[in-house]
Amino acid sequence: MTDTKVYLLDGGTLVIDGFHAFWNRGPAGELRFPCYAVLIEHKDGRYIFDTGYDHAHVMRVLPFEKPLQTPEQTIPGALAKIGLKPTDINYVINSHYHFDHCGGNKHLSKACTVCHAKELEASTKHQPFEHLGYSDMTFAPQLAKQAGKALPPDEPALDMYTPKFETITGDQEIAKGLWLLETPGHTAGHYSLMVELKNRRPMLFTADACYSQKNMDMNCISSFHLDPTASLKSMHRLKALAEKHNAELFYSHDPDSFPNYVKAPGYYS
């Protein structure tokens, strides 16, 4: 049996305003922040938790977020750096379906997709103010077509991408030591991920239930949410979970913490 390894795949950066990053607190002004995917090599298979954003999508739909992404920061490019191909991935887990967390799904053509049942539903039946968040539907081309949602006009390969979905609810240990923990509020069916490892403390990936250490310290959520009260409660849940399991929190979009994380080809084990 091989021990579980965790690789962080750098996915480039985006820009939002400080008032969005720290809801009603700010300060205002451009804030550039990282996006990344988490690859877990587990004895049951290779899992990817979130897949970052697609540069062409952001340029087409949200160019004001000023994406900076090199070829090595795409999912195929990042996997190549550790000697893997997109078809080597067995499972994609999506914390939620905002464009900066599912943009690389379409490359992982052999993977089964795991997500919260409520989140898959929300991706096509969301509130009007969530429109831009759920603007990249390439993770589920068939679903997008059924719902009349736009797909990129110039990507015929999407017709061949027909992922299988496994939807779940509640907290679930989906494989030994891989825990999906419900943290709704940012979106309807948001999951955070805890990974137990042999040689270190558990890693608790907050996803967008908490963008950064500063959000946690200020007790301040981001402005992108379905339900702010639930969102704040989920952030408090993450803090309590980290204490209970002696886990280290890894934030989704933290320009201060990210430089200190070990990035692929390095890994945690």
Instruction: Give the span between the Cα atoms of 215 and 16, in whole angstroms.
Output: 15
Our CA angle for 13, 80, 60, nearest 5°, is 40
Q: What is the DSSP letter of 125?
A: S
Q: What is the largest CA-CA distance in the chain?
A: 50
> Strand, coil or helix: what is 32?
strand
Interface with Zn ion includes 190 (CB under 5 A)? no
Interface with Zn ion includes 225 (CB under 5 A)? no
> Nearer to Zn ion by C-beta: 214 or 245?
214
Instruction: Give the span between the Cα atoms of 227 and 243, in whole angstroms.
Output: 25
> CB of 146: closest distance to Zn ion in angstroms?
23
> Nearer to Zn ion by C-beta: 4 or 234?
234
> CB of 208: closest distance to Zn ion in angstroms?
4
> CB of 135: closest distance to Zn ion in angstroms?
12
User: Is 171 noted as a catalytic residue in this protein?
Assistant: no
Please say whether the beta carbons of 162 and 150 come within 8 A.
no
Q: Of 59, 35, 53, give the one whose Cα is nearest residue 107.
A: 53
**Residue number of the CB atom closest to Zn ion:** 98
Interface with Zn ion includes 50 (CB under 5 A)? no
Interface with Zn ion includes 119 (CB under 5 A)? no
Instruction: Give the span between the Cα atoms of 68 and 108, in whole angstroms.
Output: 22
Q: Which of 10, 50, 100, 254 is catalytic?
A: 100
Residues 205-224 that bind Zn ion (CB under 5 A): 208
Count the site residues for Zn ion by CB under 5 A: 2
CA distance readout (Å), 255 to 104, 171, 201, 212, 258: 21, 29, 22, 8, 6
Q: Of 30, 49, 151, 143, give the one whose Cα is nearest residue 94.
A: 49
> CB of 180: closest distance to Zn ion in angstroms?
16
Residues 59-98 that bind Zn ion (CB under 5 A): 98
> Nearer to Zn ion by C-beta: 41 or 208?
208
Specify the stretch interacting with Zn ion by CB under 5 A; choose among 16-24, 113-121, 202-210, 237-245.
202-210
> Nearer to Zn ion by C-beta: 53 or 91?
53
> Nearer to Zn ion by C-beta: 60 or 126?
126
Residues forming the site for Zn ion (CB under 5 A): 98, 208
Catalytic residue IDs: 100
